[in-house]
Amino acid sequence: MAGAEDGPGQQLELDEDEASCCRWGAQHAGARELAALYSPGKRLQEWCSVILCFSLIAHNLVHLLLLARWEHTPLVILGVVAGALIADFLSGLVHWGADTWGSVELPIVGKAFIRLPLLNMAYKFRTHSPEALEQLYPWECFVFCLIIFGTFTNQIHKWSHTYFGLPRWVTLLQDWHVILPRKHHRIHHVSPHETYFCITTGWLNYPLEKIGFWRRLEDLIQGLTGEKPRADDMKWAQKIK
């Protein structure tokens, strides 16, 4: 009979399967708690921010193209590379801060710093003389590139976790290491997740690791505050209900 076959061993196996289901993926208690924080109001705010951001990007890109001159080329190339490097470092700093010291109990700060430079740039294009814009052009290209890489960091990070269905142009950019490659980002996800925090291009991960930048910064903060890095991780990993 089926009832006679249901012994303690089978019940234990079912309990282990249920616990395993709750320990990983969308059913994890921590994942459900975070999902509950994603309110309709938050979604609306995101859509408004995305529309405003892309409108400003399009506006500023058109004006940059109209002002482009061949003699700007060397400084523009330098600005693009510098913008990508600084965006990569900032992505690492934010990622490291969130992973190492962050908690959902802390006030959430949005990426308002992205919108302000875009608005300032649009204002300059509307109010400055052509001569002034000519002098500012390399700097504005640097700022624009920094903003573009910074704006798309979350999407680039998501692509680094996506192994199926990516557009060919995305995988090419990853293979050429223009943006964060998937294989490169795996290094960060090896426990205890204490290295390779830069998630825009990943260009700075190796040099920062070689000089022990993040470990030195953690030691400094721990020495000043007494707070241990990644102390919040185990609390979330052990959530089962």
Tens digit of each residue's pLDDT (9 = 90 or more) over 48-98: 888 888 898 999 999 999 999 999 999 999 999 999 999 999 999 988 987
CA distance 197 to 5: 51
Residue 13, pLDDT above cutoff 60: no
pLDDT at 85: 97
For 68-81, letters b (16+ CB in 10 Å) and e give eeeebeeebeebbe
pLDDT at 124: 74
pLDDT at 50: 83
Tell me, what amino acid is at 192? P
Q: What is the pLDDT of residues 98-111, one digit of tens each?
A: 777 765 555 544 34
pLDDT at 42: 74
> What's the pTM value of the predicted model, to 2 decimals?
0.75
Q: Which residue has the higher pLDDT, 95 or 198?
A: 198
Q: What distance lies between CA 169 and its chain's CA centroid?
A: 20
Domain map of the chain by residue range? 41-237
Q: What is the pLDDT of residues 182-197, one digit of tens each?
A: 999 999 988 777 899 9
